[in-house]
Homo-oligomer: A and B are copies of this chain.
Amino acid sequence: MSTYTAITLAQRPEPGPIGRETFNVVQKVVPSAGPGEIIVSQTYMSLDPAMIGWMSGDTKSYIPPVEVGAVMRSSGLGEVIESNHPDFALGDRVMGMMGWTEYFVSTGQGLNKVPAGITPEQALSVFALPGLTATQGLFNVAKPKSGETIVVSGAAGSVGSIVGQLAKADGLHVIGVAGDDEKCQWIVDELGFDGAINYKTDDIDAKLSELAPKGVDIFFENTGGAIQQHIFEHMNAHGRIAVCGMISDYAASTPSAGPNWIPIIKKRLIIQGFTMPDHYAKVPDLLAKLTPYVMQGKIKYRAHVLEGIESAIDGLNMLLTGANKGKLMVKL
Contact = CB atoms under 8 A, between A and B. Distances in A.
Interface of A: 53, 58, 60-62, 221, 224, 228, 237, 243-246, 249-250, 255-275, 278
A273 B269 contact: yes
A267 B262 CA distance: 22
A53 B267 CA distance: 13
Given A60-B266, A224-B261, 15 more contacts: A62-B237, A224-B260, A246-B262, A249-B260, A250-B262, A255-B260, A258-B259, A258-B261, A264-B273, A265-B273, A265-B274, A268-B274, A269-B273, A270-B272, A270-B273
Contacts of A265: 62, 243-246, 273-275
A275 B262 CA distance: 12
28 contacts: A53-B266, A61-B266, A62-B237, A62-B266, A62-B267, A221-B261, A243-B265, A244-B265, A245-B265, A246-B262, A249-B261, A250-B262, A257-B257, A263-B273, A264-B271, A264-B272, A264-B273, A265-B275, A267-B273, A268-B272, A268-B273, A268-B278, A269-B271, A269-B273, A270-B271, A270-B272, A270-B273, A271-B272
Contacts of A250: 262
A320 to B, nearest CB: 14
A321 to B, nearest CB: 18
Contacts of A256: 260
Contacts of A53: 266
A256 B246 CA distance: 21
Contacts of A255: 260, 262
A289 to B, nearest CB: 20
A138 to B, nearest CB: 16
A274 B237 CA distance: 10
A255 to B, nearest CB: 4
